[in-house]
Structure 1
Amino acid sequence: MVGIVGIVIILVMVFGGYVAAGGKMGIIIKALPFEMMMIGGAAVGAFVISNDMAAVKHTMKDVGKVFKGPKWKPQDYQDLLCLLYELIRIARGNPMDLEGHIEGPQESAVFQKYPNILADKSAVEIICDTMRAGSMNYDDPHQVEEVLEKRLEHKLHHAMHSSHALQSMADGLPALGIVAAVLGVIKTMASIDQPPEVLGKMIGGALVGTFLGVFLAYGLVGPFAAKVKTVIESDHTFYTLIRDVLVANLHNHAPDICVEVGRQNAPGEVRPGFADLNEALRGAKSAA
């Protein structure tokens, strides 16, 4: 919703200001389809050339994040802490009991309490793989921590590709606008024998190309790339929270301390309150 509001503000302010200053929309509307075909088409073509189909699909999917916002909500962070707390308590009580949960999370009664987390393959794999590795390497928790850190770095790098691709498109749009403007000038020079009022409209139409390239780059595509990056980074904190809690567990801190480390490292806008989380943890204890 916020993304739509932002787009409306941009369009109203730019074109509203132009009309308020006495500009006429007729010449822009007339030239817009042809300029958009040249600039937008060339930008899309360059985007397809510079990315494989998997990256193209990934980017198209991530554009929706501009309007949807982060995937993980405050309740999901609280659920994650509760899930990790239950798994850590099981591991501390009897490591053999943990095996069934991490080897078959889809059938695990603990994981099934939190369907949003269970539906995310990456989160489930990180939790299960790290707890499995931890059970085999408690004599060297730093080794598990290092492997987990590299895994998260790789995941973030891959997720950021769509933002980088959109930013590359934004960087190229002003130059493509100049290309369209030059073509318009060539067309105008071929009609140099026309009267000044005709030439003026033709030059104005050519300049629409420069305007459109810059406008799309800094008014739409660039902000889209920035918002996608922000959302990806926000969603990534969900996975870093898993790291923080499980690393604390590897160092044999009490389960309550492990969860508190994760709670305090969560971003403020999604961080569960201390009292709310304690109540949820008490509910998890009683259910166990």
Structure 2
Amino acid sequence: MIGIVGIIVIFVMVFGGYMAAGGKMGIILHSLPYEFTMIGGAAIGAFIISNNVSEIKHTLGAVGKVFKGPKWKATDYRDLLCLLFELIRLARQNPMGLEEHIEAPADSSIFGRYPKIRADREAVELICDTLRSASMNYDDPHQVEEVLEKRMEANLHHALHSSHALQTVADGLPALGIVAAVLGVIKTMGSIDQPPEILGKLIGGALVGTFLGVFLAYGLVGPFAAKVKTVIEEDAHFYQLIREVLVANLYNHSANICIEVGRQNTPSHNRPGFADLEEALKQTRDAA
């Protein structure tokens, strides 16, 4: 919702200010379809050249993050801590009983109590793979921690590709606007014998290309890229929380300490209060 508000503010301030200063929209509206076709079409073509089909789909899907915001909310972080608490406690009390949950999480009664987390493939695999590693009695927890770190870095790098792709388009739009403007000047030079009022409209139409390229780059596509990056990096904290809790488990800290480590590493705006989390864990223990 906040993304839509931002777009409205941009258009109202730019075009409202232009009209308030006495500018006329006629020339812009007349030239806009042609200039947008050249600039937008060239930008889309360059985007297609620069990315494969999978990356194109990934980037188009990521644009929705501008309006939806982060996937993981404060309640999801609380649910994640409760889920990890259940799994760690079960691993300590009944290691054999844990196996059925980490080998078939889709059928697990524990994972079933947290459907949003269970539906996220990366989160489930990260939890199950790490707990499976713990059951293999690693002599050095640093080994698992290093593997998790590299895995998460690779996932984040892949997820950020959509932001980089959008930023690349934003960087190229001003230059494409100049291309459109040059073509407009060429068109104007072909009509140099026309009266000044005709030449003025032709020159104004050419300048619309420069305006449109810069406006799209810094008013829309660039901010879209920045927002996508922010959302992706914020969602990455959810997976980092899994790492922090399960690495603490590898060091044989108590289940409560492991969860407190996770709570302390939760971003402040999503961090559950100590009392609230204790109440949630109490309900979890009672339901088990």
TM-score by length of 1: 0.99
State the distance in 1 between where 2:199 and 2:286 align.
81
One-letter code aligned to 2:124: V
1:71 aligned to 2:71? yes
Give the aligned CA root-mean-square deviation in angstroms: 0.6
Shift of 1:94: 2.0
| Structure 2 segments unaligned to the other structure (5+ residues) | none
Map Cα deviations across residues 23-78 of structure 1 (whole Å, 9 max, x no partner).
Answer: 00000000000000000000000000000000000000000010000001111000
Q: Within 1, Cα distance between the matches of 2:26 and 2:189?
A: 22
Please give the secondary structure, in 1, of the residue aligned with 2:268: coil
Contact 1:3 1:66 in 2 (8 A): yes
Deviation at 1:280, TM superposition (A): 0.6
Identity across the alignment (%):
75
Q: How far off its partner does 1:151 sit?
A: 0.5
Please name the residue that 1:122 is paired with. 122
Residue in 1 that maps onto 2:224: 224
Whole-Å Cα distance in 2 between the matches of residues 275 and 32 of structure 1?
A: 58
Residues 240-259 of structure 1: matches in 2 within 5 Å?
Answer: 240-259=240-259
Amino acid at match of 1:97: G
**1:25 and 2:29 aligned:** no
Which residue of the partner structure matches residue 156 of structure 1?
156
Separation of aligned partners in 1, 2:91 and 2:149: 22
Alpha-carbon displacement from aligned partner over 1:132-187 (angstroms, at most 9, x marks no partner): 01111332111111111100000000000000000000000000000000000000
Quick one: distance in 1 between partners of 2:244 and 2:266? 10
Aligned length: 288
Consecutive aligned runs of 4 or more in structure 1 exceeding 4 Å deviation: none
Partner of residue 142, structure 1: 142
- Give distance in 2, aligned partners of 1:274 and 1:11: 44
Deviations 1:192-225 (A, max 9, x none): 0000111011000000000000000000000000
CA positional deviation for 1:97: 1.2
Question: What are the within-5 Å matches in structure 2 for residues 2-151 of structure 1?
Answer: 2-151=2-151
Q: What's the TM-score, normalizing by structure 2?
A: 0.99
Alignment partner, residue 185 of structure 2: 185
Distance, in Å, in 1 between the alignment partners of 2:128 and 2:240 is: 15
CA distance in 2, matches of 1:165, 1:254: 44
Q: How far apart in 1 are the matches of 2:3 and 2:57?
A: 21
Structure 1 CA distance for aligned equivalents of residues 137 and 35 of structure 2: 61
Instruction: Show CA shifts across 1:110-136 (max 9, x none).
Output: 100000000101100000001101111
Whole-Å separation in 1 of the counterparts to 2:155 and 2:134: 20
State the Cα distance separating 1:286 from its structure 2 match. Answer: 1.4
